[in-house]
Amino acid sequence: MELIAHRAGTDRYPELTLDAARYSLQAGAAYVELDIRFTREDIPVISHDDNAQRLFGSPCRIDELTLDEFLSLHYAADAHYSTLTLSQVLESGVAPILFHVKVGGERLLPLLDCIHSHDYAEKCVLGLMTPADVHFVKAQNPAQTVLAFGSEKETVFAQAKSGADIVRLWENWVTPKDIAALHAMGKRVWVMAGTPRDGSVGFTADEHLAAWHAMGADGVLINEIDHARALLG
């Protein structure tokens, strides 16, 4: 069962930083997850939230900031770390990466152009939110690996039918039956540890990891890579 470092792994370094990504990969993560949003000019940048308050101490929405304004921000908890564009991440050479693309539609074009220009298509997985976005990306590059990141169980199954290669199931969605059904469709299954409702995203009980492993899950998105690797062996 592959370990995917949720938000690049947040137990040693600030989330969504290159230091966190490098540490998680060295610790045994198969992928690091980085979230993508877009500036006012549709430049892809690294941010989980739709606003800059929690990480960067600014109340502005990411899509209302110009690129220069976004790049002027620093982490509120540690000013040593500043914001990142997708281009900066790709230029760093960090890989493999799961990009959780929070916004789709026409904004996927500059994202795909950036990935293509840095020759990163084979070094990343694109996590998309809708069946239409899956269809769009696969039409541009059928070889691009895509993860169904929909917010509803029905949506991710629809994304699987639209061509997604991997399906993300929230912890509370996971059943042996659904894993078997997705495997029968030729899809890989990654489990998202934790649940949004109780603020535990990225964390889970040891017995849950063992259970998903026994069910045949192909991967898990989790924060503490060191602990998960030690547990699973």
Structural domain total, the chain: 1
pLDDT tens digit sequence for 164-184: 999 999 999 999 999 999 999
- Does residue 159 form part of some domain? yes
- Does residue 69 form part of some domain? no
pLDDT tens digit sequence for 98-117: 999 999 999 999 999 999 99
Give pLDDT, residue 12.
Answer: 86
CATH number at residue 159: 3.20.20.190
- Does residue 46 form part of some domain? no
Give pLDDT, residue 10.
Answer: 80
Q: What separation in angstroms does the CA of 215 have from each of 19, 95, 121, 150?
A: 33, 28, 30, 22
- Does residue 67 form part of some domain? no
CB 34 within 8 A of CB 98: yes
Average pLDDT over residues 82-96: 98
Joined together, the tokens standing for residue 166 give 């991997």
Domain span including residue 211: 2-37+93-232
Q: What percent of the chain has pLDDT over 70?
A: 100
Taking alpha carbons only, the member of 91, 49, 57 closest to residue 73 is 57
Single-letter amino acid code for the residue at 123? K
Single-letter amino acid code for the residue at 26? Q
pTM: 0.96
Q: CA 219, 199, 49, 111: dihedral to nearest 10 degrees?
A: 10
Give pLDDT, residue 199.
Answer: 83
Joined together, the tokens standing for residue 10 give 């947040």
